[in-house]
A = this chain, B = another copy of it.
Amino acid sequence: MPEHRSRKDAARNREAVLAAADALFARRGSAEDVTTAEVAAEAGVGKGTLFRAFGDRAGLLRALYEARLAPVREAVESGPPPLGPATPPRERVPALLDAVLCFKLDNRRLVVALEESANGSASPYQASHYEWLHRLLRDVLEQIPGTPGSDFTAHALLAATRADLVEHLAGREGVPRETLRAQLADFTAGLLD
């Protein structure tokens, strides 16, 4: 069904680059100081190939991100409660935020790099995954009676899970994972009364 099936070598190289990037980002602390040249080398591929496959550095980051996010998306869109669509709104909101927080905790380095690489104005807010998440959260909030300004509230709640904030608290200040989760849960709960 695909319009243009891509050539076998292209597909293989795309995977190789993705895997190489993943490995390199893991090996180094941060995705920040891994260059495209290094990724290409690690993948045993020329830079041209990398750029043809992903467009630019941000494209590579995005692809990796998307790959890691897929399970979460799956769980949210068609999984069982408390994440899936069958969950009552009042419980789904904290569950969603907790899932986002955990995801960011697990993928701190990558997410920081991605949120920052989107230079120019309005950085992470036009990424498709942000749009998706925001729309979803807003719609769920809307189903809770007495919630004013669900659009802004959704933004504000998501802002509380911003990658660099998470990195600051969990990384720099050493706040334990569970503490952070509890605090976010408290914060969310405080809002939904």
**A interface vs B, CB < 8 Å?**
29-30, 32, 109, 112, 116, 119-126, 148-149, 152-153, 155-156, 159-160, 162, 164-165, 167-169, 171-172, 180, 183-184, 186-187, 190-191, 193
A96 vs chain B, min Cβ distance (A):
16
CB of B164 within 8 A of CB of A124, answer: yes
- Smallest CB gap from A169: residue in B: B155
- Smallest CB gap from A29: residue in B: B121
A89 vs chain B, min Cβ distance (A):
16
CB of B149 within 8 A of CB of A156, answer: no
CB of B184 within 8 A of CB of A152, answer: yes
- Smallest CB gap from A152: residue in B: B183
Please measure, in the bound complex, the distance between the C-alpha atom of A187 and the C-alpha atom of B165, giving whole angstroms: 20
CB of B32 within 8 A of CB of A164, answer: no
A-B contact pairs, 14 of them (CB 8 A): A29-B121, A109-B121, A121-B167, A121-B168, A121-B171, A125-B165, A125-B168, A152-B169, A152-B184, A153-B187, A156-B184, A159-B159, A187-B191, A191-B191
Q: Known contacts being A149-B187, A183-B152, A184-B152, is A122 close to B159, with CB within 8 Å?
A: no
CB of A32 within 8 A of CB of B162, answer: no
- Interfacial chain B residues near A120, Cβ < 8 Å: 30, 32
Please measure, in the bound complex, the distance between the C-alpha atom of A50 and the C-alpha atom of B168, giving whole angstroms: 30
Please measure, in the bound complex, the distance between the C-alpha atom of A193 and the C-alpha atom of B189, giving whole angstroms: 12
- Interfacial chain B residues near A167, Cβ < 8 Å: 121-122
From A109, A152, A171, A191, residue with most partner B Cβ within 10 Å? A152
A31 vs chain B, min Cβ distance (A):
10
